[in-house]
Amino acid sequence: MRTQVCIIGGGPSGLLLSQLLHRKGIDSIVLERKTRDYVLGRIRAGILETGFVDLMREAGVGARMDAEGFTHHGTVIAYGEEEFGISFHAHTGKDVMVYGQTELTRDLYDAREAEGGNLVFNVEDVVIHDAKSDAPYVTYHVDGSEHRIDCDYIAGCDGFHGVSRQTIPTSVRREYEKVYPFGWLGVLSETPPVHDELIYSWSERGFALCSMRNANLSRYYIQCSLSDSPDDWSDAAFWTELKRRIPTRHAEALVTGRSIEKSIAPLRSFVTEPMRWGRLFLCGDAAHIVPPTGAKGLNTAASDIHYLYHGLVQVYQDKDTAGIDAYSERALARIWKAERFSWSTTNLLHRYPDQSEFDLKMQRAEIDFLRSNDAAQKVFAQNYVGLPY
C-alpha cells in the first residue's frame, strides 16, 4: 500500500490527526494493534482544554461534544474543611469542556469510517524502516500475513509502550523521568457528581479528586500506595476513605453506588527528546507522560497534533518544510510547561512518604497563598485551560 502519512496508533491522537489531514485532502492510513471495541473500552481522561475543543470542531467532529459535554468555568480546591473556587472564565475568559475520552474517540472513529478512512486493526510486529531516508515504510502483520505501507511521513501515536519511540536510536534519544511514590485508585460509578465542578482535595490522609463524565456518571480518585491492588479495595472501603478526604458538607452529599470500573494508575512525569527523527514524528504518550493531577495527558497529545497537522499541511499545500522542521522544538517547549504545571500541582496536593512537618506547613502555605492571591489564581487558570499553541 501507499499513503502520504502512516499513523501508528488508533487512539484519539492518531484518529484526530487522520481526520484533520483528510479534511485538507491529505491521505493517511491508521494502524491499531487492538480492536475498535478495545480502544473504546479504555477509561481515560475527560477534561478538554480550549485548544483541544477547537481542534475537534475544526476536524468536523465537535457536534456531539458541544451538545453533550459540560462546560466548566472553574474548579474547587479543598484542604481539610476549607475550600475555595478558582474561576477560569474570570481570569482567562476561557473554560474547559468535560467530555469523556471514550466518547471523543467514538466520534472520531465514526467520522473516519463514514468518510472511508483506512483503519487497520489487530496489527502485530510493526516495524518502521528507513525513517531517516526520503522513502520510509512500515511493515506489520495481520492474521499472520505481512503487509507493507510506503509513505512520505510516519506519525508515532502508539503510546508509551509502542514501537515508535523505540525506533529512535538511544544515541539520539534522551529521556527524562520522575516516578512518584504513590498511585491513584479510580472508581467509575453511575451516580450523580457530588459537585457541579471538580474538587481537588488535600488532606492529611492523602489526595482525593471528585470528577465526572456526565450527569449520572461520576469518576472519583484517591491517592493510594503503589503496592495496592484494586482487589484490596471494596466499594464500601473506597467510599469511606473518599469521604474522609473531602470536606464534610461534600461527604454528606456524596451519592455512592456500585463501581462499574476500578483501577490503579501509577504516576510519572516523562519526556523524550527529540520528538522527530527523520520522517518519524512522535505524538502524545509516545513522547511524554504527565501525572493526571493537572488534566494534561490527552491535552498535551492534542497540542502535538496541532503542530504536526499544520506542519504537514504546509508541506503538501505550500511545499514548505518550516513547520515540520520546527515540530520537535515547538512541541517540546509547550510540553515542558505542561509538565511543570502537572508536577507542581501534584507536589501541592499529595502526601509524600518522607514529608516532614516543615514540608506539610509549606504545602498549607502554598494552598493559602493560592487562595488569597489573585495573580496566583490567574496563573493556575491560564495553565488549566491550556497555554496557547
Catalytic center residues: 72, 200, 292, 296, 384
- Specify the DSSP element, H or E, that contains 251: helix 248-253
Rounded Cα distance, 105 and 16, in Å: 9
What does the CA dihedral 295, 103, 53, 196 come to, rounded to 10 degrees?
-60
Q: Which residues of 114-134 are buried (b: 16+ CB within 10 A; e: fewer)?
A: eeebbbbbebeebebeebeee
Q: Give the CB-side neighbour count of residue 23, counting CA atoms within 13 A.
A: 17
Rounded Cα distance, 160 and 145, in Å: 26
Rounded Cα distance, 220 and 224, in Å: 13
**3 by DSSP, 3-state: which?**
coil
What does the CA dihedral 247, 251, 255, 256 come to, rounded to 10 degrees?
120
- Residues 6 or more apart whose Cβ sits within 8 Å of residue 42: 101, 102
Owner of C-alpha cell 476536524: 59
229, with CB counted inside 10 A (0-12, 13-18, 19+), is: exposed
Residue 12 near residue 104 (C-beta atoms within 8 A): yes
- Residues 6 or more apart whose Cβ sits within 8 Å of residue 63: none
**321 by DSSP, 3-state: which?**
coil
Chain-centroid distance, C-alpha 6:
22
